[in-house]
Structure 1
Amino acid sequence: MNTSADLKKYHGLYNHGATDYLNSVLQVLFMTRDFREAVQRLTNNNPEFIDRHLKDLFDDLRKGTARTKQILETLHIQRVNEQCDAAEYLEKILRLTSPDAAKVFHGELSNTTTCSECRAEMNRDGMFWYLPLPLVDSCSGVYSVEDGLEEFFKTSDLNGENQMYCEQCDTKVNAKRKNVLKHHPDVLILLLKRFDFSYRYMSFVKINSDVDVPYTVEVSENQKYELYAVVEHFGDLRSGHYLSAIKDQDDEDKWFCFNDTTVTQINPPFLDVQYVKSRSAYLLFYRKKETGAQESMVPTNGGSPTSACENYNRKS
């Protein structure tokens, strides 16, 4: 049940045309305490970073419904009535954020290839903001995030036409390749790749598959993460709508739906289940669980809401 205190605690963002894609990720950044506090510790107005504009926006959000005009200008968004990709602009924001704040989301991945003949290893390291999980290989019609992560980190064989050239062997050889997580970010972001190029239609299309979204995930070295935010997408590629469902970090029994200027408290999607089935989940935000943290006991059966934001009213 919503109380007056709950309704006044969080505020929405004005939609300047079709800027819901930006609003949805900005609300997640605001609700990510470590990131918000790092931005608000800003001691200078270094024009190289977007922190000062995020700080102003977060200050405004504490007081009431806020506008994103300065963020739009900083990101050079001029066509405000044009629908864009929330994941793309989340990455743009993080790339413009100071290292002290951005490190919350920064992970490091190593792509390791091992020659099957001489066992020589080639490592290609790189930083990442999110891990992309393709939905196109879902055979059952229901995609499992846990299976997707297992697929992402499993060892693959390079043979036949996919053989690699080994400098030590001086020839093409069979090899094995795998991704290794070298640095676990404080917040692990998973991108469900719902937008894929269709050769049938010769354009990008949206994949509306059901996805089993787990409350907790475990990645390499048994590091556990707990879901606290979901950016959802409704509609098709060019005329859709974004919103976000986010857990209150001060009171983890409460979740809120942020739909532009409207903020409503919703039923916790994982109240009685370990995972939910969703056709709208797009970006998943998982917070690292501290070693030894007590796990909540929930049944393993999954729920089947179409959206975490049950009170979402589709815009006409």
Structure 2
Amino acid sequence: MKESKKSVIPPANRYHGLKNQGATCYLNSVLQVLFMTKEFREAVKREQPETENIDLHLTNLFDNLTKCTAQTCQITRKLGISRVHEQRDAAEYFEKILSHTSPEASQIFQGQLTHKNICSKCHTETDTDGPFWSLPLALKDSYSENYRVVDGFKEFFKASDVSGDNQMYCDECDHKADATMKCVMKHHPEVLVLLLKRFEFDYRYMEYVKISRCVDVPCTLKIPENETYELYGFVDHFGNMRGGHYTATIKCQDDKSWYNFNDTMVTRLPDNQSFQMDNTMK
């Protein structure tokens, strides 16, 4: 008798893609990241669906994705996307999906920032708390030719002084005064999302342009308060403001392999993929 072997799903058939309704690659890329985030996938399935939430539609979509190439028509209807041939922003629809998801599920991505204003004269500190689903990092502020996420993170949380026309009103002093502003992370999200701000307004041409510089993303990121995050996925935009295409590259939590999700096409990447060097993704 031959030795019994367990059935193994071929890597090419392990994951399935999403059909593009016209120009909905921005939505497909975000949905694939959410599907591959096991904690989120289980959370939307666990919560009792309510009419105003999108959890039930996401659960149906994720169930379909485990079997075959899936459609996103229910999701686009729920999000009010009527012009499916119009390219939109992936980051915007990531937050839009979470805003339509039950709090129990969306809190996986939610953190909280505290903005501190410290009066330079009386040293009174004023704190304002606010939730976030992604941290925006400006690519133009960098210390090297390649943009380094580590530098961008330090820049985001660096204290800055305001004076002159930028003075801030102090309730204690009852007039404007110089101040120091800084931001601290009050609550660390379970999954941290970083938004690389590749588009800026060019006053020479009076239009938005894309910053097409290489970005170094560490596979392991240690942030203030010694919280550590492991990189497991990113969404790429190819093209410019007038047109382009989105794909998602995601690390499987089971076999630790990287997969590229390009609408209906899913490709397992070689272990020595070119974008990973010295524990850094480029």
Instruction: Work out which of the residue numbers 262, 279, 290 in structure 1 matches 2:265.
Output: 262
Matches within 5 A, 1:103-118: 103-118=107-122
For 1:215 and 1:140, locate their aligned partners in 2 and report how far apart those are by CA, in whole Å. 19
1:241 correspondence with 2:248: no
SS at match of 1:8: helix
For 1:255 and 1:62, locate their aligned partners in 2 and report how far apart those are by CA, in whole Å. 17
- The more displaced of 185-194 and 200-209 is 200-209
Q: Give the match for residue 35 of structure 1.
A: 40
How big is each residue's C-alpha offset from its partner over 1:11-34, in whole Å with a ceiling of 9 and x where there is no partner? 000001010000000000000000
Structure 2: tracts of 5 or more residues without a match: 1-7
Q: CA deviation at 1:267?
A: 2.6
Which has the larger Rg?
2
1:169 correspondence with 2:173: yes
Instruction: Check whether the contact 2:47–2:104 (CA below 8 A) recurs between aligned residues.
Output: no
Matches within 5 A, 1:299-310: none
TM-score normalised per structure 1: 0.83
Q: Report the residue type matching 1:168 in the other structure.
A: E
Q: CA deviation at 1:273?
A: 1.7
Instruction: Check whether the contact 2:202–2:208 (CA below 8 A) recurs between aligned residues.
Output: yes
1:213 correspondence with 2:181: no
Q: Give the match for residue 302 of structure 1.
A: none
- The more displaced of 257-266 and 213-222 is 213-222
For 2:23 and 2:262, locate their aligned partners in 1 and report how far apart those are by CA, in whole Å. 12
1:18 correspondence with 2:23: yes
Instruction: Work out which of the residue numbers 69, 73, 84 in structure 1 matches 2:77.
Output: 73
Q: Report the residue type matching 1:20 in the other structure.
A: C
1:191 correspondence with 2:178: no
Q: Paired residues, what number?
A: 273
Percent of pairs with identical residues? 56
Q: CA deviation at 1:238?
A: 2.4
For 1:139 and 1:219, locate their aligned partners in 2 and report how far apart those are by CA, in whole Å. 18
How big is each residue's C-alpha offset from its partner over 1:110-138, in whole Å with a ceiling of 9 and x where there is no partner? 00011111111111110000000011234
Q: Structure 1 residues 93, 236: closer, same or farther in 2, change over 3 A?
A: same
For 2:279 and 2:42, locate their aligned partners in 1 and report how far apart those are by CA, in whole Å. 30
Q: Give the match for residue 305 of structure 1.
A: none
Structure 1: tracts of 5 or more residues without a match: 278-316
For 1:274 and 1:63, locate their aligned partners in 2 and report how far apart those are by CA, in whole Å. 33
For 2:31 and 2:76, locate their aligned partners in 1 and report how far apart those are by CA, in whole Å. 11
